């Protein structure tokens, strides 16, 4: 298998990101800033060689990918396995609301154990397996080429941990800005980070 370069991109900002709340698989749209970020992202990617454009099937990822698809002349390929981690009963709630309604589950969440999942949600173990399988499938579809994947913060965290050889236990340790570009190379079983959290194209933006 030839090495494949992947540009992994977190979706633009949503109102749930701003508050913040557990967003998970709630199908929230981009807010006004997120829409600006998506347009800037398209300008940034215009000079890239991209053979395939894949995105999570959630609205915020599809909206982020759309301007880039138009600019690059590519069809967006929605992919459910690139959805955000499912947070079950936590979804839509701010942290104080989770603490009030589900104190025992919140305490378990704070232990950051890979096998724990909020009621109705996904553990890191289950989530990681689907993310890495989806990532390898994209790499295998364009051997020696390149693809862009518009996805979610949790997905990128799983990739970071895998590439760095970090455990699935523990809190997130990497920056994952909205509309940031994370460049990796996939070769056989190896995932190598080439650049991470590049958001220079949107860093000056604020809500209109």
Q: What is the pLDDT of residues 100-122, one digit of tens each?
A: 999 999 999 999 999 999 999 99
Q: Residue 11 is part of which domain span?
A: 4-198
Give catalytic residues, as residue numbers: 11, 84
Question: pLDDT at residue 94 above 80?
Answer: yes
Q: How many domains does the chain have?
A: 1
Within a domain: 38:
yes
Find the CATH number of the domain harbouring 27. 3.40.50.1240
Within a domain: 208:
no
Q: How confident is the model at residue 208 (pLDDT cuts 50, 70, 90)?
A: low
**What pLDDT shows up at residue 207?**
72
**What pLDDT shows up at residue 1?**
66
pTM of the model: 0.96
Share of the chain above pLDDT 90, in %: 95
Output the 3-class SS for the chain. CCCEEEEEEECCCCHHHHCCECCCCCCCCCCHHHHHHHHHHHHHHCCCCCCEEEECCCHHHHHHHHHHHHHHCCCEEECHHHCCCCEHHHCCCEHHHHHHHCHHHHHHHHCCCCCCCCCCECCHHHHHHHHHHHHHHHHHHCCCCEEEEEECHHHHHHHHHHHHCCCCCCCCCCCCCCCCEEEEEEECCEEEEEEEEECCCCCCCCCC
Within a domain: 156:
yes
Residues at the annotated binding site for substrate?
10-17, 60
Residues at the annotated binding site?
10-17, 60
Within a domain: 203:
no
């Amino acid at each position: 298998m030839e090495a494949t370069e992947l540009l992994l991109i977190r979706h633009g900002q949503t109102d749930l990101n701003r508050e913040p709340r557990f967003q998970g698989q709630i199908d929230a749209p981009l807010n006004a800033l997120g829409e600006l970020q998506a347009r800037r992202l398209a300008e940034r990617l215009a000079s890239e060689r991209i053979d395939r454009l894949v995105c999570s099937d959630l609205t915020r990822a599809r909206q982020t990918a759309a301007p880039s698809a138009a600019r690059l002349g590519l069809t967006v390929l929605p992919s459910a396995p690139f959805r955000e981690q499912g947070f079950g009963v936590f979804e839509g709630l701010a942290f104080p609301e989770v603490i009030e309604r589900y104190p025992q589950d919140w305490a378990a969440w704070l232990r950051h154990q890979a096998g724990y999942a909020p009621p109705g949600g996904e553990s890191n173990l289950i989530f990681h397996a689907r993310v890495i399988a989806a990532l390898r499938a994209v790499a295998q579809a364009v051997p020696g080429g390149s693809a862009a994947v518009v996805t979610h913060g949790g997905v990128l965290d799983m990739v970071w941990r895998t590439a760095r050889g970090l455990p699935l236990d523990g809190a997130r340790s990497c920056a994952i800005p909205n509309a940031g570009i994370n460049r990796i190379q996939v070769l056989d079983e190896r995932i190598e980070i080439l650049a991470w959290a590049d958001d220079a194209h949107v860093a000056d933006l604020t809500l209109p």
